[in-house]
Homo-oligomer: A and B are copies of this chain.
Amino acid sequence: MTPRQNRPTINQVAAAAGVTKSSVSRAFTRPEMLSQETVRKIFAAAEQLGYVPNHTARALSTGRHGNIALIVPDVANPFFPPLIRAAQSEADRSDYCVFLGNSDENPQQEDKLIGRFAGQVEGFVLVSSRLSDAQIIEHAARRPLVLINRDVEGIPRVLIDSATGVAEAVAHLAELGHRKLVYVGGPHGSWSNKQRRGAVRRSARELGLEVTVISNEFAAFESGRKITASVLATGATAAIAFDDLTAQGMLAELADQGIAVPANFAVVGCDDVLGAATYPSLTTVSNRSVEAGKAALNLLMDILQNQAIRDVRYVLNTSLVIRKTTGPAVIPR
């Protein structure tokens, strides 16, 4: 046997209290089965010895761990921390511990993490999972699993619907007189990207606007800067970016080129991770990640308690947050 903590066990408490293991065990799990007097004695002895039930032994015996795992593509992406925090706090209310996993946007890593966690958690929350539908379904068959921003039929999921906010953004630009705009995309595999691009196209068609889609695999500040030239080359007067970081990069590049925002060009972000902290402050689509994290966790807790997995599809609508990077369209340069 390897070095182990020398914490008191149920047996020592039993001896000290003059009862058997069974009673001590019961005192900590179903005290109503014991006489008040015995419970009191046991607690006193436990307290005195500094006894704390052994989580592992209990888990081995019951199959219940009191842990859940939360896996995200990238902890450092500003979209996730608030979500993580919310999920965490919700788990805490039910006395669950949470394992955090960082998949690095990599399906294999994600799969590996799930495997590592599998043996010691009650269930999973997968955020913006990079796994295939088949893999997700397979894992969901083994353990309760809820998805955030991934739409797989039959698997409980919480979706942030940026389409509503994006549609508002297009309408907003149309009202301001813009006739030609571009959508600057995000990661190819991303469900959100597909959703946003689709929403831009649909709304644009309905409102009779012309829209160009420009791909931009790596959503980030720098790539936002670099893509700006192509955006301007289209002759558009406004752009909607896949996310705030990309939009912020565009803002910096436009400023460098002496193109005033919003006077000469309008920019809309997505996810509102920057708050009003750009200059000019960014018009963007609201992000409901905190609510998503909370909802996902409540869903998981519910499933764990009622051991019944219902096919829930919880959608959170978004809306446009109008700040200072959008304004009336100008005569094409």
Which A residues lie at the B interface, using CB under 8 A? Answer: 1-5, 52-57, 59-65, 67, 74-76, 78, 80-82, 84-85, 88-89, 92, 95, 97-102, 104, 115-120, 142-143, 221-222, 245, 248-249, 251-252, 255, 275-279, 281, 307
Nearest Cβ on chain B to A297's Cβ, whole angstroms: 13
Measured in the bound complex, the distance between the Cα atoms of B115 and A299 in whole Å is: 26
Copies of this chain, complex-wide, total 2
Nearest Cβ on chain B to A26's Cβ, whole angstroms: 16
CB-based closest 3 A-B pairs: A55-B119, A4-B63, A100-B100
Pick from B85, B89, B120, B245: contact of A55, CB under 8 Å: B120
- CB of A60 within 8 A of CB of B63, answer no
Nearest Cβ on chain B to A327's Cβ, whole angstroms: 16
Measured in the bound complex, the distance between the Cα atoms of B54 and A124 in whole Å is: 18
Measured in the bound complex, the distance between the Cα atoms of B105 and A85 in whole Å is: 13
Nearest Cβ on chain B to A85's Cβ, whole angstroms: 4
- CB of B100 within 8 A of CB of A116, answer no
- CB of B116 within 8 A of CB of A95, answer yes
- Please give, as numbers and ranges, the residues of chain B lying within 8 Å of A307 by CB-CB distance: 3
- CB of A62 within 8 A of CB of B142, answer no
Measured in the bound complex, the distance between the Cα atoms of B123 and A199 in whole Å is: 48
Pick from B4, B75, B85, B143: contact of A74, CB under 8 Å: B85
Pick from B56, B63, B98, B277: contact of A221, CB under 8 Å: B277
Pick from B57, B81, B89, B97: contact of A60, CB under 8 Å: B57
With contacts A55-B119, A63-B1, A63-B5 known, is A78 near B75, CB below 8 A?
Answer: no
Measured in the bound complex, the distance between the Cα atoms of B65 and A2 in whole Å is: 12
CB-CB nearest in chain B for A95? B116
Most chain B CB within 10 A, of A75, A89, A249, is at A75
- CB of B120 within 8 A of CB of A100, answer no
Instruction: Provide 28 A-B residue pairs closer than 8 Å at the C-beta atoms, listed in order of the A residue.
Output: A1-B61, A1-B63, A2-B63, A2-B64, A5-B63, A5-B143, A53-B119, A54-B119, A60-B60, A67-B99, A74-B85, A75-B84, A76-B81, A76-B85, A78-B81, A84-B100, A88-B100, A89-B102, A89-B104, A98-B99, A100-B100, A221-B277, A222-B276, A245-B277, A252-B276, A252-B281, A255-B279, A279-B279
- Please give, as numbers and ranges, the residues of chain B lying within 8 Å of A104 by CB-CB distance: 89
- Please give, as numbers and ranges, the residues of chain B lying within 8 Å of A89 by CB-CB distance: 102, 104
CB-CB nearest in chain B for A55? B119
With contacts A1-B62, A99-B97, A279-B255 known, is A75 near B52, CB below 8 A?
Answer: no
- CB of B62 within 8 A of CB of A88, answer no
CB-CB nearest in chain B for A119? B55
With contacts A99-B97, A277-B252, A279-B255 known, is A5 near B142, CB below 8 A?
Answer: yes
- Please give, as numbers and ranges, the residues of chain B lying within 8 Å of A97 by CB-CB distance: 99, 101, 116-117, 120
CB-CB nearest in chain B for A63? B4
Most chain B CB within 10 A, of A97, A118, A251, A307, is at A97
Measured in the bound complex, the distance between the Cα atoms of B120 and A52 in whole Å is: 12
